[in-house]
Amino acid sequence: MPGPGLDLLGPEELAQLTDVLASGHLSRYGPDDATFPAKVRRFEELVAAESGTRFALAVNSGTSALFLAITALGIGPGDEVIVPGFTFVATISSIVYARARPVLAEVDETFNLDPADVEARITARTRAIVAVHMLGNPARLDEIKAVAARHGIPLIEDAAQAFGAEYRGRWVGGQGTAGIYSFNEFKTITCGDGGMLVTDDEALYRRAFAMHDQGHSPNRSGIEVGNRPFLGLNLRMTELQGAVLLAQVARLDQIRTHLRANRDLVQSIVGEVPGLCFRQQPDPDGDLATHLVVIFPDAASAAAVSSELGSITLAASGWHVYNHMEHVLSGRTVTGRGCPFDCSCTDDRPANYVAGMLPATDALLERSMSFSIGVQDPNLAPFGLQMRDGADVARARAEQFRAIAARVLLGGGQ
């Protein structure tokens, strides 16, 4: 079972789905009366309240939410957007399909954007910074926000992997110009596939809404032919997805509490091995605790321990490292022409993405491994725990890790 929400699917999700089927309305639009349960609207209202934002827009994926955030900000050909080189490819592809150029930046020991490197990469063309809260750990939001503010650049938070994580007592995702969440099966809560955009900016919300619904105004109740500001694409969430998410979101406190208890137990055991350390946490109380990222003294020991555990280093994560994104490295889009890679209105220097272009990120990922606490992903963190594992399993896996790491690092046993 990939993520914590998926591991907990149960009768509550079924009851929510039955409710929708019984109503006979599967689309987010239904009659304005008690026969329509309005699951998507209710889920949006709930997430807006929890994330502390004025607006929330449910869509069919986190990728769509990112694409909407970027396009609703007016970003397009000729523009640059700064993103970390350690992220899921969707953070990059959503910029590319908005026809803007992604500028890859280094991560630091938070495994999120290094604020100093972001600032060094700002040019006259930079139109946004996308801070990704990777593996449930909040990025250095204070510093990144300060960089964005100094240069008057919007900050988009990609909180796809951090639904329910907090920074300084507030949900991540709700602290930038716009933020996004994903509800695919690897995420905190899931409906199979789904996403959400949150923002305080009403104009941005209205543009994103129109884009996600053939140009219509928020929560249209009629047909607005003649009044639509621009063309949209159908990226809507269905009532079936909204229903599952309403049941799932009610499990959030249980998920966070359980994951954090298992993380603390695992960390206390693994932390006994001299020479190991953990990723930096800008707000330790806000970490979602889906992953415990361990940093080894060198790449060789990280590779040896990972392989003995049947796991991989973060450098070997095919999903998340720019070095393995062959379509990014060679600038391949579906049409193979036009902006942003082959584009007269973009920088006349050719786009140049090469493996090894982020040496600090590469060196860090090579000596790191994630011990899964609640998201098992064969391409990221094959070793560790799942949501339903209790303290006994957590202790056993942590002791297994400790014994192997101690032998590799100290040449002894424990």
Active site residues: 187
DSSP string, 232-272: ----BPPHHHHHHHHHHHTTHHHHHHHHHHHHHHHHHHHTT
Min dist. Cβ of residue 170 to ligand PLP (A): 19
CB nearer to ligand PLP: give 79 or 158. 158
Min dist. Cβ of residue 262 to ligand PLP (A): 21
E strand map for 69-217 = 80-84, 101-105, 126-132, 155-158, 166-167, 170-171, 178-182, 195-199
CB nearer to ligand PLP: give 83 or 394. 83
CB nearer to ligand PLP: give 23 or 63. 63
Question: How many Cβ atoms are within 10 Å of 27's Cβ, its own excluded?
Answer: 12
Min dist. Cβ of residue 86 to ligand PLP (A): 10
Helix (H) or strand (E) holding 381: none
CB nearer to ligand PLP: give 113 or 276. 113
- Dihedral sign for Cα atoms in the order 46, 50, 54, 57: negative
Residue whose C-beta lies closest to ligand PLP: 62
Min dist. Cβ of residue 236 to ligand PLP (A): 14
CB nearer to ligand PLP: give 29 or 319. 319
Min dist. Cβ of residue 42 to ligand PLP (A): 20
CB nearer to ligand PLP: give 217 or 281. 281
- By the 10 Å C-beta count (0-12 exposed, 13-18 middle, 19+ buried), 148 is classed as buried
Print burial letters for 301-317: b (CB count within 10 Å at least 16), e (below 16): bbbbbbebbebbbbbbb
Min dist. Cβ of residue 123 to ligand PLP (A): 24
Ramachandran class of 157: left when φ > 0, alpha when ψ lies in -120 to 50, beta otherwise? beta
Q: Give the CA distances from residue 5 to residues 127, 161, 266, in Å, rounded to whole numbers and listed in that order.
A: 35, 12, 21
Q: Which residues bind ligand PLP (CB under 6 A)?
A: 61-63, 87-88, 90-91, 132, 158, 160-161, 182, 184, 186, 193, 195
Q: Could you give the residue ranges of the DSSP H alpha helices within 173-217?
A: 202-212
Cβ neighbors of 230 (< 8 A, separation 6 or more) are 210, 211, 215
* Cβ atoms of residues 65 and 56 within 8 Å: no
